[in-house]
Amino acid sequence: MEMVPFLLRWAFAALLALTGAAAWSQTMSINVRIAYEGSETIVDFSQANWRTEVTQIRLLSCSETDECTPVAGSMPAVPADGRLRLPRLFGLHRVEFVGAPMAWKPAAFEVLWLQYLAPPTMAHAELATLANRHAPVLSFHVAEGYFPITVERLFAQPVTNFTGWAVGPADVQNLGGSITIGTAGTAAQFMAANGYHDLRFYLRPDAVASTNAPLGTTVPAYWLSQIRDTAANEADHRAWITYFYLFAYDEKLYSGPTGAGGNHTVDRESVTVEFHKQAGQWQPRFVIYAGHLPDQPTTFKGCDEPLACNAEGSQSVLWNGGRLAVPWDRASRWGEAPIAYVAHGSHAMKPARGYYFLDVLGPINATEPAGSSLPGRYRRSQVQPLDLSSAHQALVFSGLLIDGAVNVNSRVFPFVRYPIADWLEPGAGGRPALDRTAFNECLGPGGACNPLVVRTPTIEVVPVPLRAGQVNDIIVRGTGLDFGTLKVTGNCVDPPIIVRDSQFPAERATIRCQPSAAAVQAGRLALSVRAYLNTNDATGVSLHGDTPIELSIASIGPEPLRAGELTSWSIGALLEQATQVVWHVAQAIGTFVAQVVNGVSQSVQLVLRETGWVSVGAEFRGAAGQTLGRQDFEVQVGQGPTVNAVTPAEAVAGQTVEFSVVGARLPAGLSFMLDDCTGVVEVTNAGSAFDRRFRCTFAGSVTAGDKAGGIGPVGSNGSPFTSALAAFAVRVGAAPAPTGFIEEFAPPLNLQRWTIDGQIPFGANIVGPVVIDTDGLAQFGAWGRISTFGKVVFSGRKIVIEARMAGTGGGRDTSFILAEPGNIDNLIMSGDTNYCGWGMYIQSRGVYRMSGPNGTCGADIPVPHTGGSTPAFMEYRWTIDGDRFTAERGPTLQNITQSVSATLGRSVAGRSFFLSIGTASQAYSPGTFDWIRVTTTEGTAAR
């Protein structure tokens, strides 16, 4: 109710005392009855004791601010039978009965009776559906003691529960004799016959307790409406629905200087929804909250803490006037119902929960809380249209029912805030314009007021495919999931339940359901989710409209799904006409089209490539290939096997090669395919989850060139999964003639065999000088090396390298290297060096790395060595037999004086190598080779 400054109360009481109370008698007076017959409004004053004094009747059209103007051409004649017949009225009017001036009576007192008239049916039938759909939800403060009551409860009680006075501008003595309240009958009967515009008719304070009602499962509300749709442009068409509530008592419980001043019996409050027309339909655009005086500044202060809200917060949203409009898309709503937060005691309607500062009068101010965070304090409105012709006839009473301010604001509906458009007019009656922006930012995205409003939970069901025969966790994402109660229904074996996430209860939840036999047979599960404000909310709000949520029931395995593994897919067709299911899975490999037999698709096999949540679509097609529908869902895919490399990248015809498949999470049993390489077997005793080994043989007749290969998942031998995990190629050289490799250097260097490439094959762009002199010696300067890379490769179970060489400088490191062309990290090396006093040494890296402690001088690998370094020419023999490596030397090969041996990390059988010889850096050069030869056993040296 509009707040009355408490300092005015004593003045008003004095005024009433001066005018005097109407006389009490057994008989209730009858002055003017309003009746509606057909298309006419009947104003019956036939029983009024002033009937014979009427000399003229005036009809005026009035605005919501009580500004009335005569209706053009309307000066009804005084009917002889005392029954004034008017055409059906629209809008607010006033009828005035005027008597003849008397010599002793000033002209100002010639009016005998004034009464406002309103349309009998103020609720447009075309808006009835919208009125029910958008009926407000009210949120009451936890300590609120007075709640909305019905018209019948308020006015069907004995008339003696009310008291009344009549005050100017009419003749007080005349009216005092005309209006008698009496002691029999109901207040409604009295009001229907005595609607004088200035009559005070107040509920007695001692009758409040019996009039009040406890908070029920719903709250009663009444609605009236107005439509303006005559503009040429549809976008300018407007409609308004006002919902009003009646209370037995307005209990001012302000904090601040005002205190409890201004309490009064009977209160009425309202919320209005404004609609704009779009494409022929009315759409809600604003919620208008009404509270207190029409020109009173109000500041929203929020809450110190969003849930408890025991004190005002730091928000500061100011607007002027007792009405505030909030855009529909930002207003607090439950489903399609706006939520109004009811101020504690005063019942003013507010847009958010929290504290409101009221600038009452000058230095006088007050603060009041509104609404609650508890779902049990929210109630839906049980609405009915305002109809003055029957059920609500007591409300034809246009006098003052609220013992408040001496002005129009002490009436009740329909004689306040009507016509609605007038009440909302900018600055109507000199009051501040309707504020339509104050709360926009505060309730917008990220706004500070959002924690202080409630909005209907929203849900998005993550459509994971459901499995038959087990309880499925159906993931729900959304907002506001922690408010009120969520209930799920569906065709599950046991009633489905919804569990809120303990860490993010407002945003995440899980529905648990095992599809019933009927659901499995149908291939789909139908679920309905409704949100209820509280245990008294019998209706709830569907969180997905009128169509239930449908989820497919699919058979997908094995569990859990992992990328790179073979999976089997089938699904129940959601349409009886479907003959095919086409699977849509991004970057997957497999057969995507399945035939539908007996309503279920046949299985298809797929290998998924992506990880995480992967979008899957099952498209259902008819016999003509037309799309009938589609079921989209997501599956969670974990990390599966990945292949990083397959080595070696080169091989020679006529040899058996062992290939290494390097990666992560590699299971035994992968599919290995390589063109022209037969007899593929997995070397099971040498594999791990990071390195799987396969062996196959290239026949000697195989044509040289690149051979395509692929790695597929377990169980996927052949198309289309040949290369599902990796595709690779191996360059195969022709089978060599069965002779060894001999190089006795003579100028110029044989470039059919050798390349002067320094460190390039090993990843460094460093090439030192190499000279073949006339004596047939290969002279190597700093970083000088030559190799057979890309020209000659060596392979075999046993490889023997013999050479005559020397390091001729003060620092020496003259050596040979055997390295795999496809992976230069896999190498075997030996030579002579005075580095760290090693002398003749051997070492290996990559898969050939020897076991044992690292070498001296900071070496990161073992370096077995023997003897000391010598600048003299020596003849060397290096023998690699499987995984055994032996280095020998002496003045001649027939006179071996030193040797050193070690076991390699793996056998050289089935592997291919190129040969590199030369020196190291400037500090360990120059070096000289006289000759070198290579022989292989069960292998080849091939160009």
Quick: pLDDT tens for 178-211.
Answer: 788 888 899 999 999 999 988 889 999 999 999 9
3-class secondary structure per residue, 178-236: HCCCCCCCEHHHHHHHCCCCCEEEEECHHHHHHHCCCCCCEEEEEEEEEEECCCCCHHH
- pTM, two decimal places: 0.63
Q: Are residues 620 and 662 in the same domain?
A: no
**70 and 100 inside one domain:** yes
- Of 583, 612, 638, the one marking the end of a domain is 638
Which segments in the chain show pLDDT lower than 50? 1-25, 167-176, 406-408, 738, 943
Residues 6+ apart with CB under 8 A from 532: 484, 485, 486, 487, 539, 540, 541
> Phi-psi region for residue 99, left (φ > 0), alpha (ψ -120 to 50) or beta?
beta
479 and 383, same domain (yes or no): no
Which of 670, 700, 733 lies at the terminal end of a domain, its last residue? 733
**Do residues 270 and 141 share a domain?**
yes
Q: Where are the beta strands (DSSP E) in 321-479?
A: 323-327, 333-334, 337-342, 349-350, 354-361, 364-370, 378-385, 458-461, 472-479
Do 152 and 91 lie in one domain? The reply is no
Residues 363 and 512 in one domain: no
Residues 754 and 606 placed together within one structural domain of the fold: no
Assess if residue 13 is contained within a domain.
no
Residue 65: other Cβ atoms inside 10 A: 15
272 in the same domain as 213: yes
Does any domain span residue 11?
no
The pLDDT of residue 653: 85
The type of residue at 515 is: P
Cα angle at 110 between 106 and 114, to 5 degrees?
140
pLDDT at res. 37 = 82
Same domain, 296 and 153: yes
Residue with tokens 């009173």: 296
pLDDT confidence of residue 519: 86
Q: Is 928 a member of any domain? A: yes
- Here the CATH number for the domain that contains residue 646 is 2.60.40.10
Q: Does residue 542 sit within a domain? A: no
Residue pair 871/806 in contact by the 8 Å Cβ criterion: yes
Enclosing domain of residue 695: 642-733
431 found inside a domain: no
Asked if residue 539 is part of any domain, the answer here is: no
The number of distinct structural domains making up the chain is: 6
Instruction: Give CA–CA dist 491/328, Å, rounded.
Output: 36
Partnered with residue 844 across adjacent β-strands are 828
Gyration radius of the chain's alpha carbons: 49
Any domain includes 842:
yes
Residue 129 is predicted with a pLDDT of 95
Cβ atoms of 866 and 839 closer than 8 Å: yes
From 102, 119, 136, the end of a domain falls on 119
* Residue 249 counted as domain residue: yes
Instruction: Determine the 3-state secondary structure of 495 from DSSP.
Output: coil
Q: Residue 513: in which H helix or E strand, if any?
A: strand 508-513
For residue 633, the model assigns a pLDDT of: 76
**What confidence score (pLDDT) does residue 104 get?**
52
Same structural domain, 717 and 769: no
Q: Are residues 103 and 143 in the same domain?
A: no
Domain shared by 197 and 283, yes or no: yes
